[in-house]
Structures are given as structure tokens and as C-alpha cells.
Amino acid sequence: MAKHCQISKKQYNRANKVSFSNKHHRYQQNANLQTKRFIDPETGRTVKLRVSAKTLKTIQKFGLRATIKRYGASQSILSQ
């Protein structure tokens, strides 16, 4: 399973670990992804999505359909 948010497409960030001697080593900071079940209000079906914590807050504020429209994601993720 891919490590990105299914709605906002948020994924990892490339960063540097810097030691005391100032050596730089590249590593990935992964997104805070949570697997949640959502109920589609129009159809009444439950859908399991992998979303970031920020997207989860947006869903709680505006609702599932409005969040999908806001981020420009495909409506087909609700038919899984």
C-alpha cells in the first residue's frame, strides 16, 4: 500500500539528519497517516480510507464529500 493520503496526496518529506560534526544524511519524514472508516452520507455505505491527520481534521470540519471536492480528489475512492 502506498504511503500517501488518498484524498490530499500528502506523502513523505525529504530532510537531513545533522550530526554534531555537521555531517548531513538524507532521510524521509513520513506523513502522519491514519486508516479510518468513513460513512458516505449520500449512499450510507462505509469506506475505509488512509488519510493524513490534517485531512482528518478537514473531514471533521466540512464533511467527507466537501473535503474530496476541496482537494480535487476523484469521487471514485468512495466506491471501493
Model confidence over 22-77: pLDDT tens digits?
Answer: 999 999 999 999 999 999 888 889 999 999 999 999 999 999 999 999 999 888 88
Average pLDDT over all residues of the chain: 92
pTM: 0.83
10 with 30: CB under 8 angstroms? no
Q: What are phi and psi of 65, to 5 degrees?
A: -65, -40
Domains of the chain: residue spans and CATH = 13-79 (2.30.170.40)
Q: Which of 68, 66, 62 is nearest to 80 (CA)?
A: 68
- Report d(CA 44, CA 55) in Å as an integer: 21
